[in-house]
Amino acid sequence: MKNISKIIALVSLITFTTFCNSNAQTTKVKFKVFGNCEMCKKTIETALDVKGVKSANWSTESKMIEIAYQADKISESKLHELIAASGYDTEKSKGDDKAYSNLPGCCQYTRK
């Protein structure tokens, strides 16, 4: 009987946790990230592969990134910082100079 009570408690906890996580509010933001090519796209999007980011899609044509994230887990300014740390400039953060210099030649854009 104790095992059944433990199993019920565990299932209840898992269900509650799943429900809370699925109801976390997703915030969407769109901003400019300077870059050139598909390699840039991969690097920029991979920089945002962190807890709290649901999706990130950077367009090589428009140079805009669309991010869906949980504002209670990560801030918009942190998103800019993560991209900048990978070497890319955003509207609000300058890319890390060392990371930029290590980007492949096709990924090095004219910086302002």
- CATH number of domain containing 53: 3.30.70.100
**How far is the C-alpha of 38 from the C-alpha of 106, rounded, in Å?**
10
Residues 26-56: tens digit of each pLDDT:
999 999 999 999 999 999 999 999 999 999 9
pLDDT of residue 104 exceeding 90, the answer is yes
Q: Average pLDDT for residues 59-87, to the nearest whole number?
A: 97
Higher-pLDDT residue of 14, 80: 80
Query: Does 19 reside within a domain?
Result: no
pLDDT of residue 98 exceeding 70, the answer is yes
Q: Which residues contact 47 (CB under 8 A, 6 or more apart)?
A: 82, 83, 85, 86, 88
Query: Does 76 reside within a domain?
Result: yes
Query: Does 60 reside within a domain?
Result: yes
Query: Does 92 reside within a domain?
Result: yes
Higher-pLDDT residue of 13, 69: 69
Residue ranges making up the domain that contains 91: 25-107
Q: Average pLDDT for residues 75-100, to the nearest whole number?
A: 97
- The SS3 of residue 56 is strand
pTM given for the model: 0.78
Query: Does 87 reside within a domain?
Result: yes
Strands 64-69, 53-58: pairing kind: antiparallel
Number of domains in the chain: 1
Closest CA to 65 of 87, 102, 85, 40: 40
Query: Does 9 reside within a domain?
Result: no
Higher-pLDDT residue of 54, 14: 54
Query: Does 12 reside within a domain?
Result: no
